[in-house]
């Protein structure tokens, strides 16, 4: 992957910390930055949801450094931030259903951990911070497509935690002069996304099941929609946010998606066709805390970050299935 270069600045003097770098999106950021010559890429991860095999891909690269640590631990955060130029904060406890089952864990990692890492970044003199937010922040706002400055009431502890990150990022930029950018991810998918476990994301889980000739469960009647976004588009957004010299871009939040809407039945039928299966799904109840319709307006990111999602839904699915 990563034939395309998304930055125009010199990375050879950049030391970049990626929290959650053993995870799905984080490991793709590591891959990109090492490929394009960053001086140092340091990862902190505690393997709660990240995977060691993702780190094994880079462990022999002399420009890669790994710290097994917890973003809720101030000493670990201080050690991770020491000497770094930029922070890409991807570490979080994902999943709306998991947050409903265990809101305390979600808050501890996503809110306390975020704040602890931001304080460590501030104390280490890190000016550039890009962090992962979520489309779940839009909550019950009915408008489509989703526009950054129009949100409703959040529908899950996970959504609350991500909105809290946005509020903290705003006040850190305001009070400490840090150049912070938030990215609201819309259903990112791609290689290295874990198909296993109770809270696995839908695309890797369905690919795994269809390949095994097992019938996936569709929550609801299949009409719920998502703006499914291939991981390389998310990498592009992070890199452009980290490298931008547009002063108007800082202190902002951006939708990161493709600006296209696909239903769960669209997804299922596309995967069936790509894999070559004639399996049929099982229909179950809607998931608690889920929004029914999702579609992003990505014009703000296009304008201020020069973001240009280059991987379409079906192309991304084919790459993901092949991997």
The enclosing domain of 300 has a CATH number of: 3.40.50.720
Query: What domain count does the chain have?
Result: 1
Residue 24, CA distances (Å) to 27, 52, 201 in order:
6, 11, 11
Is pLDDT above 80 for 276? yes
Domain housing 82 = 15-189+231-257+291-310
Q: Identify the band that residue 200 occupies on the pLDDT scale cut at 50, 70 and 90.
A: confident
How far is residue 28's CA from residue 230's CA, in Å, rounded to a whole number?
11
Q: What is the pLDDT of residue 152?
A: 97
Count the Cβ atoms, other than its own, within 10 Å of residue 45: 28
- 129-147 tens-digit pLDDT: 999 999 999 999 999 999 9
CA atoms within 13 A on the CB side of 265: 6
Going by pLDDT thresholds of 50, 70 and 90, the confidence category of residue 109 is very high
Residue 194 lies in a domain: no
In-domain check, residue 199: no
Catalytic-residue membership of 158? yes
With a cut of 90, say whether residue 197 has pLDDT above it: no
Residue 164, in any domain of the structure: yes
**Residue 274 maps to a domain:** no
DSSP letter at 22 equals T
As given in the structure block, the two tokens for residue 69 are: 């640590």
Of the residues 158, 163, 185, 307, which is catalytic? 158
């Amino acid at each position: 992957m990563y034939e395309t270069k998304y930055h125009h600045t010199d990375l050879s003097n950049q030391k970049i910390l990626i929290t959650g770098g053993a995870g799905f999106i984080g490991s793709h950021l590591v891959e990109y930055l090492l490929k394009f010559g960053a001086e140092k890429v340091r990862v902190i991860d505690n393997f709660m949801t990240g995977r060691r095999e993702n780190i094994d891909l880079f462990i022999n690269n002399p420009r890669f450094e790994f710290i097994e640590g917890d973003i809720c631990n101030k000493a670990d955060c201080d050690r991770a931030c020491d000497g770094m130029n930029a922070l890409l904060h991807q570490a979080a406890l994902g999943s709306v259903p998991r947050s409903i089952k265990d809101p305390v864990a979600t808050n501890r990692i996503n809110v306390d951990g975020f704040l602890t890492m931001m304080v460590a970044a501030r104390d280490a003199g890190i000016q550039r911070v890009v962090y992962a937010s979520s489309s779940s922040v839009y909550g019950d706002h009915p408008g489509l497509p989703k526009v950054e400055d129009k949100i409703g009431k959040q529908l899950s502890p996970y959504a609350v935690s991500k909105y809290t990150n946005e509020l903290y990022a705003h006040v850190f930029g305001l009070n400490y002069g840090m150049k912070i950018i938030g990215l609201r991810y819309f259903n990112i998918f791609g290689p290295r996304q874990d198909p296993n476990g109770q809270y696995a994301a839908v695309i890797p889980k369905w690919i795994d099941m269809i390949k095994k000739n097992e019938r996936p469960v569709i929550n609801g009647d299949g009409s719920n929609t998502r703006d499914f976004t291939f991981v390389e588009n998310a990498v592009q957004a992070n890199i452009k946010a980290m490298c931008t010299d547009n002063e108007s871009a800082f202190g902002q939040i951006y939708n990161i998606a493709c600006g296209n809407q696909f239903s769960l039945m669209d997804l299922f039928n596309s995967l069936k066709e790509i894999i070559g299966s004639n399996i049929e799904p099982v229909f179950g109840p809607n998931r608690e805390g889920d929004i029914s319709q999702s579609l992003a307006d990505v014009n703000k990111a296009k304008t201020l970050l020069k973001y240009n999602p280059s991987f379409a839904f079906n192309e991304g699915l084919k790459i993901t299935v092949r991997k």
